[in-house]
């Protein structure tokens, strides 16, 4: 099969509106979680989220088109433009051999909420004609394909919080099997609205630490009490290795392994077995693609949601994978800084993992102050850490028991 490398990156989230700004803030432990401004959350039990402040969609799309695209699409367009510019295609590429693998967990929930209210209170004739095309998850790829003239495979993953990582795997598979020469991966999410916050709060999944927003997301900490919703997007340009080398592209890393699994257990409660099998599958593939037959993973970007069940189970799965806590590499979660960006999380964390490998700097897990006896690994809790990073693993696990893992290697 063909080798697949990453030649372009883009990112936007609550601590930065481009990849360098956001990555620097994440390394510095800055937190973008604050009281919600996107809607009036006064009557809600949860009033905090990782919002992006000051984003102007008219800078990435025509002002007349803005109303036709939900915010998650607008954020996706922003990250995509950065990634495509970063990939620096100085000569023409065959756009029929250039595809898209997009991802979102929920899609246009704010528009669904808004038009449902309009339909109920003002009647169906007042529903916007842009409602459906602005809300569908696959319209993320649709808008992007139009913006960049991309005519190859146009795929979409809607697998909850594992969607972004699954989109990376789907793109890699497409290139490996000669379905395309380049694939643009984009994950985007913006579900900070009444229905989104109210729905997750009803499940008791969210932190209610409204008094201290910046301390509310506490991955692996004993006092964690739920995740904090974030919004954002990330994009990666994946390319067939020989093509990238021939055009002199900068290569951030190679996709050497990915794994997927299902828990077959519960729609919302995670287990140890499913994530473990996904990680094992990714490592098994990476080992097959290694000259030595065995890769050494230097860093894990954890799913690390700050929920009681996920953090404990992910820790247990990692310890099982490596044969004990003493053998595990450093592992951290950036969700303390930006919140949980749902379907965009895997794409954002893939970008952060590649940049960590590029710079030899491990992002910290912030807000870790009290050790949980079930979470006893090296979570990089002492601030950003310099390290020799040649192989990184990024984990994503979602509702419905769907799991995705991807491994990148420095070239």
DSSP string covering 135-178, please? H-TTHHHHHHHHHHT--S-EEEE--GGGHHHHHHHHHHHHHHTT
Quote the pLDDT of residue 118: 97
Over the stretch 395-404, which tens digit does the pLDDT of each residue have?
999 999 999 9
Average model confidence (pLDDT) across the chain: 97
35 is catalytic: no
Mean pLDDT of 8-25: 98
- Residue 188 forms beta bridges with which residues? 233
Catalytic residue among 31, 166, 328, 340: 340
The one catalytic residue in 31, 157, 161, 375 is: 161
Q: Is the pLDDT of residue 286 over 90?
A: yes
β-partners of residue 332 are 301
Q: Is the dihedral of CA 376, 381, 384, 386 positive or negative?
A: negative
- pLDDT confidence band for 406 (50 / 70 / 90): very high
**In the CATH scheme, what is the homologous superfamily, with its name and number, of domain 4-409?**
Thiolase/Chalcone synthase (3.40.47.10)
Percentage of residues of the chain with pLDDT beyond 90: 98
Q: Which residue has the higher pLDDT, 291 or 72?
A: 72
Taking the C-alpha atoms of residue 142 and residue 77, their distance in angstroms, rounded to an integer, is 11
Cα separations in angstroms, 197 against 44, 108, 163: 8, 14, 20
Q: How far apart are CA 175 and CA 66, in angstroms?
A: 32
Confidence check: pLDDT of 288 > 90 = yes
pLDDT average, residue stretch 41-59: 97
pLDDT digits (tens, 9 = 90+) for 237-270: 999 999 999 999 999 999 999 999 999 999 999 9
pLDDT in tens, 289-312: 988 789 999 999 999 999 999 999
Rounded-to-integer distance, Cα 85 and Cα 342, Å = 26
Quote the pLDDT of residue 291.
Answer: 80
pLDDT surpassing 90 at residue 47: yes
Residue 340 annotated as catalytic:
yes
pLDDT in tens, 196-234: 999 999 999 999 999 999 999 999 999 999 999 999 999
φ, ψ for residue 183 (rounded to 5)? -135, 130
Annotated catalytic, 328?
no
pLDDT in tens, 27-46: 999 999 999 999 999 999 99
Selecting among 31, 166, 303, 328, the annotated active-site residue is 303
In this prediction, residue 1 carries a pLDDT of 86
Instruction: Give CA separation, 261 vs 171, 252, 289, 334, in Å.
Output: 17, 27, 20, 23
Sheet strands side by side (includes 182-189): 154-157, 98-103, 182-189, 232-240, 4-12, 253-262, 402-409, 391-398, 299-301, 331-332
Over residues 118-129, the mean pLDDT reads: 96
């Amino acid at each position: 099969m063909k080798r697949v490398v990453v030649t372009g990156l883009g990112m936007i989230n609550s601590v930065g509106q481009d990849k360098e700004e956001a990555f620097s803030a994440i390394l510095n432990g800055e937190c973008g979680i604050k009281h919600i401004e996107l809607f009036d959350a006064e009557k809600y039990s949860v009033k905090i989220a990782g919002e992006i402040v000051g984003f102007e969609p008219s800078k990435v799309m025509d002002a007349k088109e803005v109303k036709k695209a939900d915010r998650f699409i607008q954020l996706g367009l922003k990250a995509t433009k950065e990634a495509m510019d970063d990939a620096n295609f100085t000569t023409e590429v065959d756009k029929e051999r250039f595809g898209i693998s997009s991802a979102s967990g929920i899609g246009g929930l704010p528009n669904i909420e808004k038009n449902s209210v309009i339909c109920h209170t003002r009647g169906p004739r007042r529903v916007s004609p842009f409602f459906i095309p602005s809300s569908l998850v696959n319209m993320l790829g649709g808008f992007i394909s139009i913006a960049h003239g991309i005519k190859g495979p146009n795929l979409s993953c809607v697998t909850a919080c594992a969607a972004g990582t699954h989109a990376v795997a789907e793109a890699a598979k497409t290139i490996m099997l000669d379905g395309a020469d380049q694939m643009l991966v984009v994950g985007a999410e913006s579900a900070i609205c009444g229905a989104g916050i109210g729905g997750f709060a009803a499940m008791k999944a969210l932190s209610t630490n409204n008094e201290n927003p910046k301390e509310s997301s506490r991955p692996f900490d004993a006092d964690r009490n739920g995740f904090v919703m974030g919004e954002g997007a990330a994009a990666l340009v994946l390319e067939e290795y020989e093509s990238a080398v021939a055009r002199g592209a900068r290569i951030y890393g190679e996709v050497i392994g990915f794994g997927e699994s299902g828990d077959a257990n519960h729609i919302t409660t995670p287990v140890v077995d499913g994530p473990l099998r996904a990680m094992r599958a990714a490592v098994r593939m990476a080992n097959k693609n290694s000259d030595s037959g065995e890769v050494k993973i230097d860093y894990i970007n954890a799913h690390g949601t700050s929920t009681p069940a996920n953090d404990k189970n992910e820790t247990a799965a990692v310890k099982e994978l490596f044969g004990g806590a003493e053998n595990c590499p450093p592992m951290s979660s950036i969700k303390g800084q930006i919140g949980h960006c749902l379907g965009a999380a895997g794409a954002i964390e893939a970008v952060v993992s590649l940049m960590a490998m590029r710079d030899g700097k491990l992002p910290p897990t912030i807000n870790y102050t009290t050790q949980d006896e079930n979470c006893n690994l090296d979570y990089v809790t002492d601030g950003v850490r310099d390290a020799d990073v040649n192989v990184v693993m990024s984990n994503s696990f979602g509702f419905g028991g769907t799991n995705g893992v991807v491994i990148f290697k420095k070239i």
